[in-house]
Chain A
Amino acid sequence: MIEVRQVNKIFNDRPVLIDVCATFESGKVNMVIGKSGSGKTVLLKSLVGLHSIDTGQIFFDGRDFHTLKQKERIEIRKEVGMLFQGGALFDSSTIEENVMFPLDMFTNDTQQEKLKRVNFCLERVNLHGINDLYPSELSGGMQKRAAIARAIALNPKYLFCDEPNSGLDPQTAIVIDNLIKEITYDFGITTVVNTHDLNSVLSVSDTIVFIYEGRSWWNGTKERMLTTDNQELNEFLFSSEIMRRIKT
């Protein structure tokens, strides 16, 4: 479980996160939703110290991340898998080398054991026979899936996904969403997913936090979300024609 308490983050005199509070539960898909520019990516990166925070606390199963020493932080980071908005595969390495990279760095397994694990992870995301291709030779959706495979290579306790299905067609998006959900349930991971795709929210979310202009404005479940009378959340949700039709 990850607890975020009263986190503030200021970029060049401009507050980007203001008193953000949230709880992300283990074994569940916790979604963070909000408009583009509301601060979702900054929040996700602040969780693991890629951005420093100005005030507030972030607890990883009781461990206050930002007061830990560098060495202890690294221990937590090794328990984290992260899927970046653009995939962030290493483009001078093949897919196999990409997925094997965390294993190379942090295990003493033999080449054979590592290869087995790599193939298991690639299998898990439905990628076969592309071990020797480079990221630039894959489609956007395949890159995302390969990035998921790399993120789960070390059996993370925490999985962070930044817009896992932005730029994908609806069908591929569903495949990725379901994948994240299955992995979360199978391994009891604490998963945090940033998205502004309402389809994913409705299909795979367990808990939801709505970020509005840098504040944690609303939280709850998808059932409660659809009947909320929170004005800003309603404006966010029902800005599209299709959602307005669902509502009525």
Chain B
Amino acid sequence: MNVFFHVGRYVAFLVKVFSRPEKHTIWIRQFFKEVQKLGLSSTGIIILVSLFIGAAITIQMAYNITSPLVPDYVISLTTRDTMLLEFSSTIISLVLAGKVGSNVASEIGSMRVNEQIDALEIMGINSSSFLVLPKILAFVFFIPFLVIISMFVGIGGGWLSTVFMNVITPQDYIEGIQLAFIPYYVTYSIIKSLVFAFLIVTISAYQGYYVSGGALEVGKASTKAVVYSIVMVLLFDLILTKLLLS
């Protein structure tokens, strides 16, 4: 019953969120603020995480593939495809669920408990649309850039590991990442990330918007936001992979 209640209220919430903005100039200002807050400010962490994982995947692949029959460039080819297919969309989204999800839920949640949302409503403003729509669009707009950055940096991280850690020769690595490249993998990854971005922001905003109580409840809501976002990202990873890759 509880699940149905939340799904119903979530859908009703989205309907309210997707209504026409009242003032376009303000709306555009909000949008760019959110691009900065949710997107641009996540670039650093994404670069760092992608670099580490790209290197780690390369080392693991080299460790796994020890047969003399398999040429070394297969290692970098697999690294590349792992990045493109799964890491740069799904794992990146899990990292972002932590960062963006808690940010959105705690911001909106504290606006709720401090009556700032009431203050918006009292002015005759549709608070859910005003607060949440710019966040959704900004993050969905920006996430493809993060995905692409992550792809490049991850593959670069793998290369660095070959240069500094003596895994395979950098020449083999470079050869491998150019072989049998399937552009659709990138498209697939970006489509997934758009859905994940939407889920992360809307689930977290929902958790924040319906907080009642005080600072403690805001904390709980932001934990829930992260947990539910992660679970839904992984569920939709499965669904979309089935739909798009088979």
Interface residues of A (CB under 8 A from B): 45, 48, 50, 73-75, 77-78, 80, 82, 84-86, 88-92, 101-102, 104-106
Q: Say yes or no: is B115 at the interface (Cβ < 8 Å to chain A).
A: yes
Is B175 engaged at the interface, CB distance under 8 Å to the other chain? no
User: Which residues from B are CB-within-8-Å of A82?
Assistant: 118-119, 122
- CB atoms of A88 and B123 under 8 A apart: no
B121 to chain A, nearest CB (A): 6
Chosen A-B contacts, 27 in total, with CB atoms closer than 8 Å, are A45-B118, A48-B122, A50-B121, A50-B122, A73-B124, A74-B124, A75-B124, A82-B119, A82-B122, A84-B115, A84-B119, A86-B114, A88-B114, A88-B115, A88-B116, A89-B116, A90-B116, A91-B114, A91-B116, A101-B123, A102-B123, A104-B23, A104-B26, A105-B23, A105-B26, A106-B123, A106-B124
Give A75 to B125 CA distance when docked, in angstroms.
11
Q: How far is the CA of A73 from the CA of B115 in the complex (A)?
A: 19
- A139 CB, nearest partner CB in chain B, Å: 17
Give bound CA distance, A48 to B110, whole Å: 22
Q: How far is the CA of A237 from the CA of B22 in the complex (A)?
A: 47
For A102, what are the chain B residues with a Cβ–Cβ distance below 8 Å?
Answer: 123
Cβ contact within 8 Å between B124 and A85: no
Q: Provide the bound-state CA to CA distance between A89 and B114, in Å.
A: 9
CB B144 to nearest CB in A, in angstroms, measures 27
Q: Are A105 and B121 in contact (CB under 8 A)?
A: no
Contacts of B125 in A (CB 8 A): 105
Q: Which residue of B lies closest to A45 (CB)?
A: B118
Contacts of A90 in B (CB 8 A): 111, 116, 119
Shortest distance in angstroms between A152's beta carbon and chain B's nearest beta carbon? Answer: 13
**Contact pattern, B 101-126, Cβ under 8 Å of A = 1, otherwise 0:** 00000010011001110110111110
- Cross-interface CB contact of B118 among A75, A78, A88, A92, cutoff 8 Å: A88
Least CB distance, B85 to chain A, in whole angstroms: 38
The smallest beta-carbon distance between B22 and chain A, in angstroms, is 7
Interface residue from B26, B115, B123 paired with A78 (Cβ < 8 Å): B123
B23 near A80: Cβ-Cβ < 8 Å: no
- Min C-beta distance of B102 to chain A, whole Å: 16
Q: Tell me, in angstroms, the Cα distance from A92 to B118 when the chains sit together.
A: 16
Shortest CB–CB separation between residue A164 and chain B, in angstroms?
A: 14
